[in-house]
Amino acid sequence: MNTFGHLLRVTTFGESHGPAIGCVIDGCPPGVAIAPEDFAHDLARRATGRSRHTSARREEDAVEILSGVYEGVTTGTPIALLVRNTDQRSKDYRDIARQFRPGHADYAYWHKYGVRDPRGGGRSSARETTMRVAAAVVAKKWLAERHGVTVRGHMAQIGDVLPRAHDWNAVEDNPFFWPCAEQVPELEAYVDALRKSGDSVGAKVVAVADGVPPGWGEPVYGKLDGELAAAMMSINAVKGVEIGDGFASVAQKGTVHRDVMTPAGFLSNHAGGVLGGISSGQPVVVSVAFKPTSSLRLPVEGVDVDGNVVDVITTGRHDPCVGIRATPICEAMLALVLMDQALRHRAQCGDVDEVTPRIPPSADA
Restricting to residues 264-323, which ones interact with a second copy according to CB under 8 A?
270-272, 274-281, 289-294, 296, 298, 300-303, 306-309, 323
358 is in an annotated binding site: no
Site for a second copy in 50-79 (CB under 8 A): 64-68, 70, 73, 75-79
Distance between CA atoms of residues 166 and 20, nearest Å: 39
Name the one range near a second copy by CB under 8 A: 86-94, 98-106, 164-172, 181-189: 98-106
Q: Does 35 bind a second copy (CB under 8 A)?
A: no
For a second copy, the binding residue among 37, 169, 311, 348 (CB under 8 A) is 348
Q: Does 245 bind a second copy (CB under 8 A)?
A: yes
Residues 6 or more apart in contact with residue 308 via CB below 8 angstroms: none
Name the one range near a second copy by CB under 8 A: 34-42, 133-141, 170-178, 228-236: 228-236
Distance between CA atoms of residues 96 and 119, nearest Å: 9
Q: Does 183 bind a second copy (CB under 8 A)?
A: no
Cα atoms in the 13 Å half-sphere on the side-chain side of 226 = 13
119 is in an annotated binding site: no
Distance between CA atoms of residues 365 and 361, nearest Å: 7
294 is in an annotated binding site: yes
Q: Does 142 bind a second copy (CB under 8 A)?
A: no
CA-based nearest residue to 34, from 135, 132, 127 = 135
Cα 101 from chain centroid (whole Å): 24
308 is in an annotated binding site: no
Q: How many residues does the chain have?
A: 365
Amino acid at 80: A
Total chain residues near a second copy (CB under 8 A)? 160
Cα atoms in the 13 Å half-sphere on the side-chain side of 133 = 27
56 is in an annotated binding site: no
237 is in an annotated binding site: yes
Name the one range near a second copy by CB under 8 A: 27-35, 40-48, 168-176, 179-187: 27-35
Would you list the DSSP string of 308-328?
Answer: -EEEE---S---S-GGGG-HH
Q: Does 174 bind a second copy (CB under 8 A)?
A: no
Cα 98 from chain centroid (whole Å): 30
124 is in an annotated binding site: yes
Q: Does 215 bind a second copy (CB under 8 A)?
A: yes
Cα atoms in the 13 Å half-sphere on the side-chain side of 39 = 23
Q: Does 363 bind a second copy (CB under 8 A)?
A: no
Name the one range near a second copy by CB under 8 A: 55-63, 167-175, 181-189, 253-261: 253-261
Q: Does 95 bind a second copy (CB under 8 A)?
A: no
Binding-site residues from annotation for NADP(+) = 46, 52
